[in-house]
Amino acid sequence: MNENTQFILTTEQTKKIPVSSFMRMWSLGSSQARIAARYFAYAAQKQFVSKDRKKELQNHFHLKSALQLLGTMGYLRGAIMKMGQLLANMPQLLPHELVEVFESLQFEAPPMHYSLIREVFLDELGKEPEEIFSRFDKRAFAAASLGQVHRARLRNGKEVAVKIQYPSIAETINADMKALSLLLQSMRFKKDFQYLHAHVQDARNVFLKEVDYRSEASFMEKNRKLFIGTQIVVPVHYPELCTRRILTMEYLPGKHVHNFLAQKPGIAKRNHFGELISYSLVHSWFSLRTVYADLHPGNYVLMDDGRLGFIDFGCYRQFDEERWKLQIDGETAMFQDDQEKLMHFLTKLAMHSHPEALDPEWVDLFLRQMKWIIAPITARGPFDFAGKEYVEHGAKLLRESFRKGYTRLDPFYNWSNRTLLGHRALMYRLKCSFDYSSLYLGEMQKYS
């Protein structure tokens, strides 16, 4: 655990998660006020110091602000913490100090105290952990936005990982989305308000599905069967020890990406795991017609024998037949530069009835973004995901997208965009280069 975050993560573990909209917004607002006050102090000081001292003050401000947000997000958990995890997937856009601290939210979030975990077991399985397992580690070895994971041993000697949901987490998601909906009411007279509101409701539905671990277990099993015989390992789960708030699965030993990179592995190893992570995403996308929408370093373990452990399956979206046909037709049109079919795809994506209704500026931005996204595919050979020109261009497009803030879009595609952003960020961290084109087009041809 990072020494800058250890104290914060430890002090948050005994606090119960606030579930009322008022308390959650009050906590978030107080945190923002402290950051604003710190910024004004930094802005005043930097006018009277040297260039080197100015840079030191800036780094200090970024670190203190990130730690402030870490404490708040760790206390609130749920949808608020998920935002911090998303920010950690933007190493090209955010200062290093912020990204480093936010990465803690992907697998080192503050664990709940054991007494609260014990309550979940009694509510869900009617027994305490010690009555179920031959060994149960009271200290969590991983924790994130919705739950934490403990190591344990079954009565038959099998080593398992037990994922336990934080108490009242579904209530916090409802509270956060309700508060966000209220904040958005000030924009209700804007022409695209109905689409913005639809995005919020869609996110609420996806997050609420994610807090049902039975849904995650089902998707995990589909992927386990899918990857049998490959170098990707998906844990076996134990249905008799799985409920809505408890998920018991096979324990997979390995390192998370940050620990793997800390050992300074060579390019061959980085390329190997970059290709496996990409295959796990692309193969599930085409064969199961599913968007895996939570692609971040905390959901993979890199195993010493070269295999990749794929360990978290809570957040996903399933294509229906109409959307899947639209997706494949749109991708094919982009690769073939078929302008007529491409405009048909964009019309459906932007929820219009005819191409003439499309905003020309949005079309221009979208096409530039898509050209960037498919660059590793159209390269037709090894592609350097950490190439300076590629990374800087992607960051520029993302900033432009945030600035323009188009909301007239089918909410379903928020999740595929999130997946693409997570994938590119992971490949950037690994500084890997491999033939992504053959991988992607091979899967597309096989299943489409």
Q: What confidence tens digit (pLDDT) does each residue in 246-272 have?
A: 999 999 999 999 899 999 999 999 999
Q: Is the pLDDT of residue 363 over 90?
A: yes
Beta-bridged to residue 233, according to DSSP, are: 309
Provide the 3-class DSSP secondary structure of residue 308: strand
Beta-strand pair 232-233/308-310: parallel
Summary mean pLDDT of the chain: 79
Q: How many CA atoms lie within 13 A of 226 on its CB side?
A: 20
Residue 354 and residue 360 in contact, taking contact as beta carbons nearer than 8 Å: no
Using the predicted structure, report yes or no on whether residue 162 has a pLDDT greater than 50: yes
Q: Is a pLDDT exceeding 60 seen at residue 79?
A: no
Q: Is the pLDDT of residue 393 over 60?
A: yes
CA angle 26, 28, 29 (to 5 degrees): 65
This prediction's pTM:
0.77
Contact 254, 302 (CB under 8 A): yes
Beta bridge partners, 160, equal: 152, 250
Percentage of the residues of the chain whose pLDDT score is greater than 90: 48
Q: Rounded CA gap, 365 and 243, in Å? A: 44
Give the model's pLDDT for residue 44. 47
The fold of 111-167+212-251 is Phosphorylase Kinase; domain 1 (3.30.200)
Q: Single out the residue of 422, 427, 50 nearest to residue 276, CA to CA.
A: 427
Question: Would you say 11 and 74 are in contact if contact means Cβ atoms under 8 Å apart?
Answer: no
Angle in degrees, CA 345, 394, 328, rounded to 5: 25
Are 140 and 104 spatial neighbours (Cβ–Cβ below 8 Å)? no
Residue type, 330: G
pLDDT value at residue 405:
73
In angstroms, the CA 303 to CA 232 distance is 10
Using alpha carbons, select from 91, 100, 41, 92 the residue that is nearest to residue 67.
Answer: 100
372: part of which helix (H) or strand (E)?
helix 360-373
Q: Which residue has the higher pLDDT, 213 or 4?
A: 213
Mean pLDDT calculated for residue range 186-214: 75
End-to-end CA separation in angstroms for the chain: 43
pLDDT digits (tens, 9 = 90+) for 271-312: 999 999 999 999 999 999 999 887 888 889 999 999 999 999
Kindly tell me the burial class for residue 76, based on how many C-beta atoms sit within 10 Å of its own C-beta (0-12, 13-18, 19 or more). Answer: buried
318 confidence band (pLDDT: 50, 70, 90)? very high
Per-residue pLDDT tens over the stretch 104-151: 544 555 567 888 889 999 999 999 999 999 999 998 888 767 788 999
Lowest mean pLDDT among 75-79, 169-173, 221-225, 304-308: 75-79
Scan for tokens 């003439």, then name that residue: 356
Tell how strand 308-310 and strand 316-318 pair up.
Answer: unpaired
Burial environment of residue 396 by CB neighbours within 10 A (0 to 12, 13 to 18, 19 or more): middle
> Given pLDDT bands bounded at 50, 70 and 90, which one contains residue 31?
very low
Residue 32: pLDDT band by 50, 70, 90 thresholds? very low
- Round to whole Å and give the CA distance between 402 and 41: 27
Residue 12 per-residue DSSP state = H
Give the start-to-end residue ranges of the domains of the chain: 3-104, 111-167+212-251, 254-448
Name the least confident of 57-66, 155-164, 275-284. 57-66
Q: At what angle do helices 360-373 and 339-349 cross, to 10 degrees?
A: 110
**With 90 as the cut, is the pLDDT of residue 437 above it?**
yes
Q: How far apart are CA 425 and CA 276, in angstroms?
A: 15
> Containing H/E element for 163?
strand 159-165
Asked if 391 and 369 touch (Cβ cutoff 8 Å), the reply is: no
